[in-house]
Amino acid sequence: MSRSGQGFHYDRLQRGFHWLMAALIVIALGLGIYAAWQVPGTSPRRELLDIHKSLGLTVLLLLPLRFVYRLVAGEPAYRSAPSRSAHLAATLAHLTLYALMVLLPVSGYVYSAAGGYGLPWFGVFSFPRLVPVDKALSQAGYGAHYWIAWGFGILLGLHLLAVAWHAWIRRDEVVGRMWPRRVAGG
Ligand code: HEM
Ligand code: HEM
């Protein structure tokens, strides 16, 4: 699914979404892991989790915009096309990343909302509680959040291995597709 207008690079908006959301997610991952080691109810766990939730819910809000724009704009053309199986594997991996980018914040939301905990957005406002306060539901949300976070971490590791493989072993055009135009050339 490629569109002629886009050349060989993801356009500026797609790269903006990719790098902004990658930064938000990596910081959220780090804060989540760090906070999970702290004693509940103590400082700085509480404050770090407030930032964690704000970052995670920002990802959830940005994702539909990114996904719809991706469907409209398509993906850039290749100078030399990858094999069908390599392209299929990349597409499946990317679709799974998109799915986990929804499921991870949603499970965190259910965990916090059903647990009766706060749902802040950087102290500016609070998100509505759309599920009842229910201990069992909150526990299920936590279990899902924990395991989805592991799955996401593993897939992200594979994504970075694929990037390293394209950059240093195959030395092909793939990494340049998500890089600023002036670095990639053309
Ligand atoms: C991109 C989004 C997110 C990522 C990557 C992420 C990742 C993580 C990770 C890796 C942990 C540590 C899990 C553990 O070892 O127990 C964690 C914990 C946590 N997350 Fe998230 N999360 C995200 C979104 C959210 C959202 C939107 C909320 C709530 C609104 C949330 C609430 C929590 C809470 C409360 C914990 C602490 C778990 C505990 O120790 O009790 N997360 N998150
Ligand atoms: C949390 C972090 C990240 C997430 C969730 C993520 C997710 C994604 C997704 C969903 C795509 C597919 C784009 C599309 O077709 O719509 C993609 C493409 C890409 N990502 Fe990431 N990414 C992350 C971090 C990174 C990092 C750190 C790098 C580089 C070091 C990177 C390099 C790339 C490249 C080069 C592509 C283009 C692949 C292609 O043309 O087929 N990503 N990423």
Structure confidence at residue 182 (pLDDT): 53
Count of domains for the chain: 1
Using a 6 Å cutoff on CB, does residue 110 contact ligand 1? no
Q: What are the respective helix, strand and coil percentages of the chain, to the nearest 5?
A: 70, 5, 25
Q: CB–CB of 80/173 below 8 Å?
A: yes
Q: State the CATH number of the domain containing residue 61.
A: 1.20.950
CA–centroid distance, residue 145 to ligand 2 (Å): 22
CA–centroid distance, residue 19 to ligand 2 (Å): 8
User: What is the DSSP track for 105-138?
Assistant: HHHHHHHHHHTT---EETTTEE----S---HHHH
pLDDT in tens, the chain (186 residues): 444 456 899 999 999 999 999 999 999 999 999 999 999 999 999 999 999 999 999 999 999 999 999 999 999 999 999 999 999 999 999 999 999 999 999 999 999 999 999 999 999 999 999 999 999 999 999 999 999 999 999 999 999 999 999 999 999 999 999 997 655 444
Range of the domain at 95: 4-184
Helix (H) or strand (E) holding 2: none
Structure confidence at residue 181 (pLDDT): 64
Give the position, in ligand 1's atom list, of the atom nearest the Cα of 33: 12
